[in-house]
Amino acid sequence: KAGHYTRKPREITKRFKVLAQAPTRPMLCSRRIIFRDGVYAARGQEVRSGAFSQTPMPIVSLHDISLAFGHHPLLERLNLSLEAGERVCLIGRNGSGKSSLLKVIAGLVVADGGELRRAPSTRIAYLPQEADLDETGTVFDNVAAGLGALREWILDYHQAVRQLDSDHSDAALARLHATQEQLEQHGGWQTQQRIDETLNRLGLTADTPVAQLSGGWKRRVALGRALVAAAGVLLLDEPTNHLDIAA
């Protein structure tokens, strides 16, 4: 036990040195929201960022949102507006309601009271704390899951391309041409390109089985799924979980 405690300071010091060597980056948040004592800090008040006050209509707005689990209040008369171009950071202790707020905005949890409004045609993509991936599929299959209706056309095309690698029959060529026409009809080429670019940026290989990946690589897959959705609102719940500093 004594050895355990004497090693701790050196381990902590080493970790801080690694963090100090990380490249300096500009502030990512245009606004910070603080949670304290299990209740939203700005209770009953609307939180807005003056830099975006000229936006005619927020893309997401919450009015008097309340949420509790049993007798424990997480959100109490919360009023919040999200405007285009904002990067909002939620800060608070574990269990203070940050994840619950994201799930309310994503439509995964219904609040006990209040009103949630979204601008027309606003798409929301949500990255949960733990990756909920299809372990039987490949990286490409899981990333494409964030595409909604286009997913099936993209998957058909990807499978046809893979089949042609080992099968040069007329039937395989016909299937490839058919899937190419489907993509053209549904505007899928730009989406296919977005998937390829996202996989490249995250260092992912399309045909790798997800079951073979470590926790960090699975996190990248889940992040890729959220990014390819090209949503108007991107909700990231602890996006750096399981990732190393380089990632």
Per-residue pLDDT at 153 exceeds 50: yes
- Per residue in 201-233, pLDDT tens? 999 998 899 999 988 899 999 999 998 887 888
Per-residue model confidence as pLDDT tens digits over 59-94: 899 998 888 887 778 888 888 888 888 888 888 888
Give the type of residue at 23: P
DSSP class of 61: E
User: pTM here?
Assistant: 0.67
Transcribe 135-162 into DSSP letters. TTSBHHHHHHGGGGGGHHHHHHHHHHHH
pLDDT-derived band of residue 180, with 50, 70 and 90 as boundaries?
Answer: confident
pLDDT (mean) for 21-42: 55
